[in-house]
Amino acid sequence: MQHSAKHLKRVTAVGAVALAAFSLSPSVASALPTDNPGGHRAAPDATVVGGSRAQQGAFPFMVRLSMGCGGSMLSDDIVLTAAHCVDGSGPDTSITATGGVVDLEDPDAVTATSTEVVQAPGYDGTGKDWALIKLDRPLDQPTLATAQDDSYDKGDFTIAGWGADQEGGAQQRYLLTAQVPFVDDATCKSAYSGLVEDEELCAGKMDTGGVDTCQGDSGGPMFRKDDAGEWIQVGIVSWGEGCARPGKPGVYTEVSTFAADIEAAAAQLG
């Protein structure tokens, strides 16, 4: 399998996080306010980097994937994730999807095993960072609608994941969530000359940093409310330089660009 340098870097990062245990790590404690040494409450504005713990049931469409990525339920038995989280297309029984919980050690967690993977056609490590995973049984979780056009590519977005809570940090046992503002393509291009404007969108606090997705959040959704007040997915966690650095926003697959391709691939998976 051929990788561009950028892709290889990302895959290496995923491999590293996949090896990390899901145990409550010291980095969680260090993300807590110092006046809360008990650590039973997440920092009020702290994820992800700079987030807080998600309430059980708040984002029921979120799943954790065993290779160390996130994903969202596209249908009963199909997960939408990032192309760089999977290893090409075809039959694949190596991935476990865990859903229904914010605590990965909750006995109420529901799991299913992959049967087949579709990696975005033409994916070469730049752009097109989406993939579908077909499961061996329905997870019976609510699905997350995908944006069909770019009209929701603005405003504030919600991010969520079990990835690192700081650059180089450990994977999380509890789902963390935060809000990040949209960053327009021109501004994002000034941070990343390699941005694929039609296929990627950016979000983050350009001035201050401090809030972002991070390693292990890849493949998970970035979403917001649509005009009817329903959650709609606008992005897939893809990449960034470090995590939560000022001037270095997170880069997300622009879901609306691939909405038709994703739907067609899902229909083929049956």
Q: Which residues are catalytic?
A: 84, 129, 218
Is 8 or 260 the residue whose CB approaches ligand ARG more closely?
8
Name the strand (E) or helix (H) holding 257.
helix 255-269
Is 77 or 219 the residue whose CB approaches ligand ARG more closely?
219
- Residue 166 engages ligand ARG in binding (rule: CB under 6 A): no
Please tell me the count of residues contacting ligand ARG according to CB under 6 A: 16
Is 70 or 99 the residue whose CB approaches ligand ARG more closely?
70
Q: Which residue in the set 61, 239, 255, 265 belongs to the binding site for ligand ARG (CB under 6 A)? A: 239
Helix (H, G, I), strand (E, B) or coil at 262: helix
Query: Closest separation between CB of residue 71 and ligand ARG, Å?
Result: 12
Instruction: Give DSSP secondary structure letters for 23-36.
Output: SPPHHHHHHS-TT-
Map the footprint of ligand ARG across residues 204-233, applying CB under 6 A. Answer: 212-218
Is 59 or 162 the residue whose CB approaches ligand ARG more closely?
162
- Residue 10 engages ligand ARG in binding (rule: CB under 6 A): yes
Name the strand (E) or helix (H) holding 52.
strand 52-53
- Residue 50 engages ligand ARG in binding (rule: CB under 6 A): no
255 in Cβ contact with 152 (< 8 Å): no
Instruction: Give DSSP secondary structure letters for 54-95.
Output: PPTTSSTTEEEETTTEEEEEEETTEEEE-GGGS-SSEE----
Nearest to 99 by CA among 148, 150, 63, 56: 63
Residues at the site binding ligand ARG, with contacts judged by CB under 6 A: 10, 13-14, 163, 212-218, 237, 239-240, 243, 250
